[in-house]
Structure 1
Amino acid sequence: MEADGPQVLCDLCLVQVCSSLEALCSRRADGSLCLSWAPVFPQEMADQLLRKMATKGILNDTTVGIFQNCKELRLRRATIRCCPVSAEAFRLALCPHRLQELDASLVSGGLTGANIVSGLATNPECRSGLRRLCLTGLCVDWESLVEDGVGFSSLQGLRTLNMANTDLTDAALEDICTLPHLESLDISCSAVSKLTALLRCKNTLRSFIGHKLQQLDMSPIRCLSVLSQLHTLRHLDFSEDHFSVDDSDGKDGEETVRQLLEGTAQVLPSLVSLDISGRKRTSEASVRAFAEARGGLVFLGLLATGASSCDILTSQRNLKVTGDANENQVCEALRRYRDRECFIREALIHLYNLTTDIDKPRPDMLELVLNGMQSHPTSLHVHLVATACVFNLTTQDLAVAMPVRLLTSTVTQLLIAMDSFPSQQQVQKNCLLALCSDYILQDVPFDKYFAATLVINWLQIHEDPTLQRMAVAVISILVAKLSTEETAKLGKDVFIMKQLLALVQQKAMAGAVDSTLKFALSALWNLTDEMPTAARNFIECQGLELYEEVLETYYTEPSIQQKVLGLLNNIAEVEGLQGDLMEEGLLEHILSLLQDSEVEVGVRYFAGGTLAQLASRPEAWTLGDEFRSTAMKQLHESIMTWNQLEREMVSYRSFRPFRPLLQTWQPSGVQLWAVWAIHLVCGQNTSHYRSMMEKEGVTELLWALAAHPDTHSDIKELSDSILRMVDQQQNCLPSAKNHTEPQSS
């Protein structure tokens, strides 16, 4: 793990509470949850639990009930951001607490700003003690507040208020500005048309954010006059969405900014932070004049202004700038503008250009890109550029140096993007390019089943050969990484089987020998491994007929023959499907491969496995005893000529298909193939397969086989070798009871 410590443990505990909430609670008559028992939480821990429930997406009218009339959970800094909470649930569960901060941004469930303000106003301690309130994206419903005789001014302790992206009106702003301690106000993207109300709080207001006030109806002179009287103002954001305003619009705002920049230092003398990003008519000369007149300046927002290259901006060491002149400015923009789609989109475009030829790992940049994607999950514009940036930042060896947890979050976000924008070819392409990394697919934990289904669905509507090759490569690796349950679930989907078989047929008809064909064959091989349903789907989709053709067509391609025979081996293991393989022409072809000394051992191994499985059940063999006897004799003779393979040719999910082959009454060819196969994989990974052998009773079968008087000496010798190998591995372990075997893949 990249970060071990108290916070990590605390987070794990909170996650456990969230996942066990139903078990820890009883239900009230209204259906809401109530903790059956709980210790008194440290106050900060109660806030963290509420936040964790919100981020996990489990906070709603039912679960928020645990904070209702609960002395053990005392909230101070509450967040219900983006959660479906109704006005009644909010009133019952949160309003009785002595809240100091509340973030109710983007809450669904019908909760309005009026509900929140009136609910909080019923608690005298909230009226005086609430310091920070965030209602971003909500309907204010000012008229309801007026009717109830309640207003924002009821919350006399408020110091910070965020009303961005609301239907805030001039009348509501008038009420807000009467708050006696108001220090920070955000009315971005609201319906406000006049700023004169700000004069009511000119002696307390230190931060004013008025981004994208497109309904503002004030002359530049009047607007600047109001702003210049805010004597205590230290941060002013008067930025604009440059994508939504063309050259003919916003002239008053541009003129206000120009006059502010070129005015004397007596205008807003306390100002240390100014954001005018998106104001396209800003000149470098006016920026220089402003910066020179204010030596204490710490921040300038100049993204999408064309003025961020001004030389004075780099000469002031303590000055942070958002812009496009260099890496620092672009990264600062991504940090500061996380919630503003227009600026995230603009900054990502510049970041993409900066990372096109990057040769050093930059986890800090990847984190910023990820944050932008997470903040704007439905924005196509953001994801078009962000997914391209992810590819630049994780391509080749760059991903290896990234924190695994960051890569997991990034890949998860890529999958969400693929799922959210199924018809956007460029987004799909970017995500696929980023996913097509051996390190990411093999070593980074993420939902591989979800990824496999997404990529397979992608194959249905895209035929670009290059991308098709990558998609099949990704599927092939992912299928091999799935759990038994996930593989079974995937194998039941006939559509997936048809898609992969169609690819094989397409390549086979063209006589192609490429990685797309090989990856498709590998995916089908893994998909049918100990999966009877998938094997049955394969046959019902005419896969067997296709594979017979492939086997004959690619008789000089051992890598393809091996994958085909590997799948036939899987089918031969399924008792109810063995009859489908009982075709004399097919088995004679397989037998000829087994006998040909010029054929690679890998091909002969799987040819032998298919014959061994079929011959192990005399009642299923329908091609005559003579053919069976000849095949088993040839199998025994062929195996004795095989050299031990150095590379790992095959891995097994379990040894269950081998158990019938190891019975003492089986033909020697059947027994020898099974013992040779076990010897092969144990020699390559003894520690892994030792526990599998013991758990599945294979060790006992080998002992019985070695001790039986009728067992062939060749089989006894190999069995003894396996048992010695396993015994040596056991003796190497310091303590059997303290040793944990790796889990089988």
Structure 2
Amino acid sequence: MAGGDLEEDSPCPLTDTVINYCISNVSTFCDVDSDGKPVRIRDDAYLPSIICDRMVSTLSKQGAANDDMVRVFCDPSKTKLQRVNLSQSPITNESIHNLSNHKLVELDVSNCALLTEDCLRDILTQKNLQVLNISGCSRVLQKYGFPLFDFPLQKLRSLNIGFIELSATQLHLLLQHLPRLTSVDLSKVIKNGDLACLNIVKDTLKSLVIHDCVLVAASLEYIYQLSALRHLDISVNDQEKLPLTNEILKQMVKSLPCLSSLDISGNTMVYDDDEEDQPDSGFRPKKGKHSDKKQRKVERMQVDKSFGDRKDEDDTETSPINEHGVRSSLEGLRGLTAPLQFLGLLGMEECELEYLPAVRVTGLANEEQILNVIDVYHQRRDFLLKGLNAYFDLLRVIECFKPVWATKVILVAMKRYPKDNQVQISGSASLYHLTRGLYKKHMSIHLKQQIIIVLLTAIENITESVTLLRNCGLTLFNFSIPGDFQFQFERVVKNLVKLALTEDRDGLLQRIYVHMCNSIVCHVEGDQKKLVGKLGIVRCMLQLISDRLEKEVCDEVLETAWSTLWNVTDETSENCEMFLDGNGMNYFLQCRSTFQENPELLRNMMGLIGNVAEVQRLRPQLLAHADVFIDLLSDRSDGIEVSYNAAGTLSHILSDGPEAWTIDRPTRGEVLLAIIKAIDSWTMDTKRNINYRSFEPILRLLPVYHTPEVQYWAVWALANLCTVLPNKYCNLLEKEGGLDRLKAMRDNPRTSEEVKRLIKVTLDLAIGKKMRDVLDV
């Protein structure tokens, strides 16, 4: 699949970027208290509606909207709110009261579970309100009509009271006060099929949503009277399905001439015996009241199963097209004068028909239908989950053409249901595939950051689901570490540390997150390396090592834990000290004794010890184990790695002078002889499994003339590294002033002949490399 076949992600709009920055730094527009919490809008600030509305909406989407935050926006002399979206926020009646200071045009407090019937009076003071969404607020209308009978929102045009328990009497009374409504959502409110309450708005209603309501055949007669209707939603999820026939659909099309959006998802198409005599379109069963599965299977073979554009061929003999040019394989919709803008067919086999008369279709027949499901039904959890699961199944078997769109709609779904395990598992599983390979290349930095935020939120909200934690870990591993995480570095590290200690049956969780910890510390330096230590990575790795010792298990996690400690202590004395204070040397000795047959483990451990030895104030603690290090000088289980690091550790200890050697055994002289013997046994061109970012710890040993053996190890190390990787290490040596220091040693009469020989080898390599670079230029 060519890269050009995929849609590109556009950059985040500047306004959104500014608003997100201000929300993350509230002092830009608020006075804050000692804890950094916003108190009031600053005296020199004024937020117009176009900014203020979007700020509140963004806070709500980020889960940061609450009573304290809404209180900040309640001063109409500093802020102006018109269109307020606080959906799913933990606000109380207090926020609704504070909003009464503003003249609102739109108010969405859907699924705000803490609102009670006492907030209704404040809502009803909003005389300019045109749009009101209190869907899912089960208590707000609880006492409506008992005794409150008025609903004085004369300008209201759109009302959503879905998923609220209302009696038929309450509903009739409410709608009687709102004769100008053009849009109403009564999802799951109608229990007996009685739609007589709509008579008051039959001439004005343009949008009717009666999703998951109990409907009967008589209900349709009321719907047919809504001649101005443009959008009709009679989809069902867990209610009894409404048996639809082609005749019913024909009557809808005839009675509702303005209809441009129809959702019949979840219902059942019934094909009557009488239809057998109708012209055969080749797209419906010929017999039986219900679809015959075998017949359907044959019919599916006739449709275009590709996931690209539909067929454009015009076969005049079989093409179901009407006089208006509308092509429909669904006979009941052939009377349309223009294609629908939307057609909902989720859960219906009709979504697999070849010609569907709509710009957008929801179903499970192809990529676009499935993404429409996720996009359109993000407020309907069960429908949404069907789409998420179907898209994951699709991603595993084909290359998809809408990865950016898919990512965006999946993120919306996961943000809306942050604590829903099934939504998070399904969404994160798809994000794993969408953040790999070619798909990843088409995502903006902003989109990548949104993915990371959603995954971190999932990790923090749902801690008991091993499947989810695996999905999130594997997906995070698809990003560039640590570059893509810098914008929320501390949050990432804290979660990695927590999850690295989370056990599951096959140990995959720990393997994922320990490797991520190692990747993080491999690529940070300076203050960030100190920070990861403070955030607990050193303690975490020591805990993992302790657990493995207790179980006597040497596995990938144990090796990686030691590797992580090796990397996190590199030129970071604070982390070296944490290692020692955390009983690190005892763990070192126990691992060496318990897991003697693992040379890679020993190499990692000795690399770490070498880092500790570079810190002068910590060397006395290592001196107590000099007998272990001298024994390791002769170790060849992993080439020269262990021997090299043991010699380096002893060299750093010896560099402190004879007076610092405070132990009786082994003697300092014995150690010096053992180091010379070990170095002489090494081969100069031996390749190393080590990565020096700086030579400074080695260069510090060059002037140690009181102990030539120390100089011998240091210069051998430089000569070896420059021999094996001249392009990298010759440049590093010159950059850090190493050439001048080596020349000074070469000219010093106190330098031994053997050390001078190694200096010459190193200088020849470095100078030769430099000359070659000049000639290449």
**TM-score when normalising by structure 2:** 0.75
Structure 1 residues 506 and 398, CA gap change in structure 2 (3 angstroms): farther
Give the aligned partner of residue 10 of structure 1: 15
Counterpart position of 2:55: 49
Amino acid at match of 1:50: V
Partner of 1:141: 140
Answer yes or no: is the 8 Å Cα contact 1:448–1:478 preserved in 2. Answer: no
- The answer for the alignment partner of 1:111 in structure 2 is 115
1:383 aligned onto 2:442: no
* AA partner of residue 82 (structure 1): Q
For residue 487 of structure 1, what is the aligned residue in structure 2? 532
Residue in 1 aligned with 2:647? 608
Q: Are positions 1:332 and 2:372 aligned together?
A: yes
Is contact 2:188–2:212 with CA below 8 Å preserved after alignment? yes
Q: CA RMSD in A?
A: 4.3
Distance in 2 (CA, whole Å) between partners of 1:563 and 1:65 is 55
What's the CA shift string for 1:620-648, capped at 9, x where partnerless? 55232212332454577578x53486x88
Deviation per residue, 1:152-172 (Å, 9 max, x gap): 4x1211122222233344344
Residues 1:266 and 2:254 are matched in the alignment? yes
Q: Deviations over 1:65-99 (max 9, x none)?
A: 3323343422222222333333234323x222232
Alignment partners' CA distance in 2, 1:300 and 1:54:
30
Aligned-pair CA distance for 1:610: 1.8
Distance 1:105 1:207 in 2: 18
Q: Which residue of 2 aligns with 1:164?
A: 162
The 1:48/1:666 distance shift into structure 2, 3 A limit, reads farther
Change (3 A) 1:373 1:20: closer
Structure 2 Cα separation of the partners of residues 674 and 451 of structure 1: 40
CA distance in 1, matches of 2:516, 2:552: 18
CA distance in 2, matches of 1:40, 1:442: 38
| Match among 435, 448, 457 for residue 416 of structure 1 | 457
Aligned to 1:95: 100
The residue that corresponds to 2:321 in the other structure is none
Shift of 1:209: 0.9
Where do 5+ consecutive residues of structure 2 fail to align? 1-7, 272-283, 291-328
> Is the contact made by 1:33 and 1:64 (CA closer than 8 Å) also made in structure 2?
no
How far apart are 1:400 and its partner, in Å?
A: 4.6
> 1:170 corresponds to which letter in structure 2?
A
1:33 partner SS: strand
Query: One-letter code of the match for 1:267?
Result: S
Does structure 2 conserve the Cα–Cα contact (< 8 Å) formed by 1:579 and 1:620?
no
Of 582, 585, 592, the residue aligned with 2:624 is 582
CA change 1:398–1:120 in 2 (3 A) is closer
Residues 32 and 404 (structure 1), Cα distance of their counterparts in 2 relative to 1, 3 Å cut: closer
Alpha-carbon contact 1:491-1:528 (below 8 Å) kept: no
Paired residues of 1:504 and 1:517 also in contact (CA < 8 A): no
1:540 CA drift (Å):
5.3
2: distance between equivalents of 1:491 and 1:684? 36
2:159 is paired with a residue whose SS is strand
- Contact 1:32–1:61 (Cα < 8 Å) also in 2: no
Letter in 2 for 1:158: L
**CA separation in 2, counterparts of 1:565 and 1:615?**
17
1:351 matched to 2:391? The reply is yes
Residue 203 of structure 1 deviates from its aligned partner by: 0.9
- Superposed, 1:160-559 pairs within 5 Å as 160-174=158-172, 175-190=174-189, 193=192, 194-213=194-213, 216=214, 220-241=216-237, 244-245=238-239, 250=240, 253-255=241-243, 260-261=248-249, 263=251, 265-280=253-268, 288-296=330-338, 297-313=340-356, 316=357, 318-359=358-399, 362-395=403-436, 398-437=439-478, 439-441=479-481, 444-445=484-485, 447-458=491-502, 460=503, 462-464=504-506, 469-481=511-523, 483-491=528-536, 494=539, 496-503=541-548, 518-529=559-570, 530=572, 531-536=575-580, 539=583, 542-549=586-593, 552-554=596-598, 557=599, 559=600
Partner Cα separation in structure 1 for residue 191 and residue 745 of structure 2: 88
Q: CA deviation at 1:599?
A: 6.4
How far apart, in 1, do the equivalents of 2:32 and 2:453 lie? 34
CA-CA distance at 1:328 after TM superposition:
1.9
Q: CA deviation at 1:188?
A: 1.6
**Does the residue aligned with 2:171 lie in a helix, a strand or coil?**
helix
1-structure distance, mates of 2:73, 2:535: 41
Q: Distance in 1 between matches of 2:95 and 2:645?
A: 64
Give the partner amino acid of 1:625. Answer: R
Cα 1:100–1:131 shift into 2, 3 Å: same
The percentage of counterpart residues that share the same residue type is 24
2:293 equivalent in structure 1:
none
Q: Which amino acid aligns with 2:16?
A: D
Structure with more helix by fraction: 1
From the superposition, tell whether residues 567 and 139 of structure 1 become closer, same or farther in structure 2 (CA, over 3 Å): same
Q: Structure 1: any 5+ residue segments left out of the alignment?
A: 733-745
Query: TM-score of the superposition, structure 1-length normalised?
Result: 0.78
Aligned twin of 1:642: 684
Give the superposition deviation at 1:210: 1.4
Contact 1:391 1:434 in 2 (8 A): yes
The residue identity in structure 2 corresponding to 1:132 is V
**SS state at 1:319 partner:** strand
Of 73, 83, 101 in structure 1, the residue corresponding to residue 79 of structure 2 is 73
Taking structure 1 as reference, are residues 237 and 450 closer, same or farther at Cα in structure 2, changes over 3 Å only? farther
- Asked whether the equivalents of residues 253 and 259 of structure 2 are also in contact (C-alpha less than 8 Å), the reply is no
The 1:442–1:21 alpha-carbon spacing in structure 2 relative to 1, beyond 3 Å, is closer
Instruction: Give 2:155's aligned amino acid.
Output: G
Q: Check 1:542–1:71 CA distance in 2 against 1; reply closer, same or farther (3 A cut).
A: same
**C-alpha spacing 1:63/1:359, structure 2 compared with 1 (3 Å):** closer
- Deviation at 1:497? 1.9
**Deviation digits for residues 506-565 of structure 1 (CA, Å, limit 9, x no counterpart):** 6866xxxx75564343234234443135412553584122332378423xx4x4443232
Distance 2:742 2:10 in 1: 46
Specify the alignment match of 2:320 in structure 1: none
State the secondary structure of the residue aligned to 1:212.
coil
Amino acid at match of 2:70: V
When residues 616 and 145 of structure 1 are mapped into structure 2, their CA distance, relative to the original with a 3 A threshold, is farther
Task: Report the 3-state secondary structure (helix = DSSP H, G, I; strand = E; otherwise coil) of the residue aligned with 1:526.
Answer: helix
Q: CA deviation at 1:103?
A: 2.0
Distance of aligned partners of 1:34 and 1:384 in 2 relative to their CA distance in 1, 3 Å threshold: closer
- 1:97/1:523 CA distance change after superposition, 3 Å: same
Equivalent pair of 2:521/2:529 in contact (CA under 8 Å): no
Alpha-carbon contact 1:452-1:478 (below 8 Å) kept: no
- Give the letter for the 2:56 counterpart: L
> Given the alignment, which residue of 38, 41, 58 partners 1:35?
41
CA, structure 1 residues 628+89, in 2 after alignment: closer, same or farther (shift >3 Å)?
A: same
Secondary structure (helix, strand or coil) at the match of 2:243 reads helix
Once the two structures are TM-superposed, the CA of residue 655 in structure 1 deviates from its matched residue by 7.4
**Shift of residue 669, structure 1, vs aligned partner:** 3.9
